[in-house]
Every structure is written in structure tokens, then in C-alpha cells.
Amino acid sequence: MALAEPDELGAPAGALMPQSGPCLAMRLLRRPCAVIGLILLAVILFMAASANWLYPDDPLDMVALPFLWPGDDPAFPLGTDMLGRDLIAGIFHGARVSLAIGVVATFVSLLIGVGIGLLAGYHGKRLDQGLMRATELFQTIPPFLFVLAVVAILQPSIPAIVLAIGITSWPGLARIVRAETLKLRQSEFVEALIGMGLPSWRIILFHILPGTLAPIIVSASMMVATAILTESSLAFLGLGDPNVISWGGMVGAGREVLRTDWYVATLPGIAILVAVLALNLLGDGLNDALDAKQHQ
């Protein structure tokens, strides 16, 4: 990346990024994949935002006969599950929970991953050695098993799940950020900033972090998708929070009736598929749009 041109030295932090504001949006909109991703994401955001308004009642409430198939009763367009809970209300409310878990868990792992990556990359030497050994330690543990262990110890609840996903999904990000930081650390403008006597935290926060944003943004969109999938897997294994409705929990509950009433597990499964697909398409699009070489 052609990030650190010497003449940009004194420029405001934002200007260090070659891609900014409207340009990025335009480049994103030129990619059909990204557009599809954005539209799907908008639909899911709409579902999450409108759940309380369209389906104000508790989605866990038993409102009708069990096993109404989609179309059996116009009042329940997607049918009801084994306890007579409205599936469409569940999917709308599930969007809130799944998205919230995805976003918050990603935020947690961004904090850890970016923090460690920046520190290790900037300071190098023994701190780098120590932090990277710790990162490798985390990388050697299969992430899902790690999440399972954490949730089993903390008891399944939304905060525990968010924490578990957050503290297990950062190592990859930390390595990427470290690599980017190492590159920037050796660039002339950073040498110059050090020469000017700027404190390290300012250099890291205002001059190096903006330079690493592109891979962070791309990773983050993928991490949200992974977090949603991980929560679904947990709920599928019965380790979700039984007090809230999530897509994974709905799939898990519907698993036992897969042979007889496949729609109960399939409909929320499609919701997961759409959400993950949307985030992946968007991530790919962002990756392309942010890749400086491609648009030159």
C-alpha cells in the first residue's frame, strides 16, 4: 500500500488513507456483490429495527397451535414451531439478538486484537515476542472448543457468549494488524514523527492505526459473520441463552423435528445464511474497494 508518502507527513490523520469518504462509497457501489450484500444487510437491519414495532409481543410466547405449517394460517405466514410460537416473530426478534451478538463480540475482539497488534508491531523486541507467543498460544486452541469451554464455565447467557466469542476470535486480527504496523513502523514518516518527539501513543493512535484500518474493516465484517455463526452453533448444541430468541437457538430447537417439520429449523437457518452471506459479500466488496492497487 502506498500509504506513507513523505509529503503527507504533516497532514491530518484521515488524509493518510488514500481512500476516504464518498470515493469509498462510490467504489463499493460499483461492485455488484457489495451492492447485494448491502441490500441484504439492510433487510436484516430493517428486521432487527422493526421487530418490536411489527411484533410487539414476546416472540417466545405460545400464541397458536403447534406445528402450523407456513401458509396454514394467514395470521402466521411462516407457521409456528413445536410449542406454537410464531416463527416470523422469532426470526425478526432473532435478528436483533444475532446481530447484537455479532457486533458486540466483534467489538470485543477488535479491542483485543487491534490493541495487541499495534503494541507488538510498534514496540517490537521483547514485548512483540511476548505478545506474539501469547497470540500463538490462543491460535493453537481450536476456537470453537475454546468458546464451548468458556461458555460452559460461565453458564450460557448472552454476555458470556459475547465474551467467549470476543476473547477467542482476535488472534488472526492481531497478526494482521501487527504486520501492517511493522511495515508502517519502518516508514520514514514514522521515523520523522519519532524524531519530532511525539509520544508513542499519539503516533500509534493517530498515525499508525488509520493506516491499518483497511484490513481491520474487512476483517471486522467477516468477524461479525463468524460470530453470528458461532452463536448459532452454540445455541444448536444447547449452549445458547435459553431466555432470548436467537436464530441459532431456533435451528437447534427445530433439529429434532427436522424429518417431520423441516421448516422449523430451515427458516431461521435461511436467515443465518442470508446474514452471513450479506456480511461476506460486503467484506469482499470492502476489500476490493479499499485495495489501493486495484483502483489505480
Partner 1 sequence: MPRLSRRSAVSRLALASLLAPLGPELVLAATTPRRGGTLTAIVQPEPVVLTAAVNTAAPTQFVSGNVFDGLVDYAFDLSLRPSLATSWEVAPDGKTITFHLRQGVLWHDGQPFTSADVKWSLENVWQTIHPRNKSIYKNVETVDVPDEHTVVLRLKAPSLAIMSTLNASGATILPRHLYEGTDILTNPYNNKPIGTGPFVFKEWKKGEYILLERNPHYWDQDKPYLDKLIFKVVPDAAARAAALEKGEAQYAILSPVPLREAERLGKLPQLRIETRGYEWLSPVFYLDFNIDNPYLKDVKVRQALAHAIDLQAIAKIVWYGFAVPAISPVPSTVPFFHNPDVPRYAFDPARAETLLDEAGLKRGANGVRFKLTHDFLPYGDDFKRTGDYLKQALKRVGIEVDIRAQDTASFIKRVYADRDFDVSSSWNGAFPDPQMGITRIYWSGWVGSGTPWTNASGYKNPLVDDLIDQAAISPDAKARAELFRKFQTVVQTDLPTLPLAELRFFTLHAANLRDLTQQGDQVYASVKNAWFDTSAE
Site residues (vs partner 1, CB under 8 A): 58, 60-62, 64-69, 72-73, 75-76, 82-84, 152, 155-156, 238-240, 242-243, 253, 256-257, 259-261
Q: What are phi and psi of 207, to 5 degrees?
A: -120, -30
- Identify which of residues 73 and 284 has a Cβ nearer to partner 1 in the complex: 73
CB of 40 to partner 1, least distance (A): 30
Spell out the residues 6+ positions from residue 114 whose beta carbon is closer than 8 angstroms to its own: 173, 174, 177, 209, 212, 216
- Identify which of residues 252 and 283 has a Cβ nearer to partner 1 in the complex: 252
- Identify which of residues 67 and 206 has a Cβ nearer to partner 1 in the complex: 67
- DSSP-derived 3-state class of residue 205: helix
CB of 80 to partner 1, least distance (A): 9
Cα 268 from Cα 94, distance rounded (Å): 8
- Identify which of residues 32 and 77 has a Cβ nearer to partner 1 in the complex: 77
Spell out the residues 6+ positions from residue 215 whose beta carbon is closer than 8 angstroms to its own: 176, 177, 180
- Identify which of residues 73 and 288 has a Cβ nearer to partner 1 in the complex: 73
217 to 88, 89, 224, 244, 281: CA distances (angstroms): 32, 32, 11, 29, 13
Q: Which three cell numbers stand for residue 125?
A: 523486541
**Nearest by Cα to 4 from 191, 133, 265, 261:** 191
CB of 141 to partner 1, least distance (A): 20
CB of 232 to partner 1, least distance (A): 16
CB of 241 to partner 1, least distance (A): 8
